[in-house]
Amino acid sequence: MRLALKEAIAAFEKGEVPVGCVVVKDGRVIGRGHNLRETLHDPTAHAEMIALTAAAEQLQNWRLDDCTLYVTLEPCPMCAGALVNARVPRVVFGASDPKAGACGTLFNVVQDARLNHRAQLSAGVLAEDAAALLKTFFRERRQGTAREGTEP
């Protein structure tokens, strides 16, 4: 999770919402990413989507069996759906997301028995660190001191 937090800091420094993600297989990072929605002008450029794409490219396989995804903020419905589609068996996240969380807060997409895949969840890992980074980012944004790339 500390590597995911480093990715979140990279997003913060670019003026992106500070969410970071890594995908690990056999103790090795095979994909990493941080939010790039503002930079890429892409609503799908969430940390998880970028890390999943990198991991699939590394494995040359869209099925991410035997992988664990670590992300600093609870995945949204889009990202949770991608986790199900990629067959990620384990998801570890930091801070819960009361506005868009789809891994137990508002929805639980990754454990919905109606879908063809379910993931094991671990929530709250380094949650205070992840939440503090998000709070700092949004406080700066409200005060008009946000970094480059963010919307006013």
Active site residue 140: no
Cβ–Cβ under 8 Å, residues 52 and 64:
yes
For the beta sheet containing 28-34, the strands, ordered from the edge strand earlier in sequence to the opposite edge, are 28-34, 20-25, 67-73, 90-95, 120-123
* Residue 4 CB partners (closer than 8 Å, separation 6+): 20, 21, 22, 47, 70, 71, 72, 94
Assign 69 to helix, strand or coil.
Answer: strand
Active-site choice (7, 48, 148, 151): 48
Assign 152 to helix, strand or coil.
Answer: coil
Q: What is the DSSP letter of 45?
A: -
Please, what sign has the CA dihedral across residues 49, 55, 61, 63?
Answer: negative
| Residues annotated as catalytic (active site), given as ranges | 48
